[in-house]
């Protein structure tokens, strides 16, 4: 993605794009995971990220401050679970490349959220 200025709409779109990429990476990791319990964990994390995507799609960030604050809390909670997933992904997925991609996608999504929420 190219240069993005600091306008809230652009930061919001960047954040959404990063969470979408993260969702895609977690879904890919789930495809190659052989442990049923760990597949369930990956599905749960993908569902959490999907909920963030849905909230980002529905929220008009500039005009609904309360919704923005609720979204901020939701993302903080999901990011906490994602930090744990990042630390464990190499034990969950045996494919090093997939694990690395998931960890990178987590970093990108968390970084984008930090820019959006300051």
pLDDT in 10s for each residue of the chain, 118 residues: 344 455 656 788 889 999 999 999 999 999 999 999 999 999 999 999 999 999 888 765 555 677 778 888 999 999 999 999 999 999 999 899 999 999 999 999 999 888 888 7
CA–CA distance, 60 with 31 (Å, rounded to integer):
34
The reply to whether 3 falls in a domain is no
Question: Which residue in the block uniquely carries the two structure tokens 């994602």?
Answer: 82
| Share in percent of the chain as helix, strand, coil (round to 5) | 85, 0, 15
- Nearest-CA neighbor of 42 among 97, 82, 96? 82
The reply to whether 40 falls in a domain is yes
Domain encompassing residue 71 = 8-117
The reply to whether 1 falls in a domain is no
Contact 59, 68 (CB under 8 A): yes
Question: Which residue in the block uniquely carries the two structure tokens 């490349």?
Answer: 97
The reply to whether 2 falls in a domain is no
The reply to whether 109 falls in a domain is yes
Q: Which run of H or E residues covers position 95?
A: none
CATH of the domain at 15: 1.20.1270
Residue-level pLDDT at 67 = 76
């Amino acid at each position: 993605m190219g240069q993005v200025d600091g306008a809230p709409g652009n930061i919001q779109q960047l954040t959404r794009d990063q969470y979408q990429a993260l969702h895609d990476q977690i879904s890919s990791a789930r495809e190659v995971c052989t442990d049923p319990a760990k597949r369930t964990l990956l599905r749960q994390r993908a569902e959490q990220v999907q909920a963030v995507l849905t909230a980002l799609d529905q929220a008009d960030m500039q005009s609904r401050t309360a919704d923005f604050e609720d979204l901020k809390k939701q993302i903080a909670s999901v990011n906490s679970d994602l930090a744990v997933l990042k630390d464990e992904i190499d034990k969950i997925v045996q494919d090093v490349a997939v694990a690395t991609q998931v960890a990178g996608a987590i970093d990108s999504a968390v970084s984008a959220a930090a820019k959006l929420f300051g």
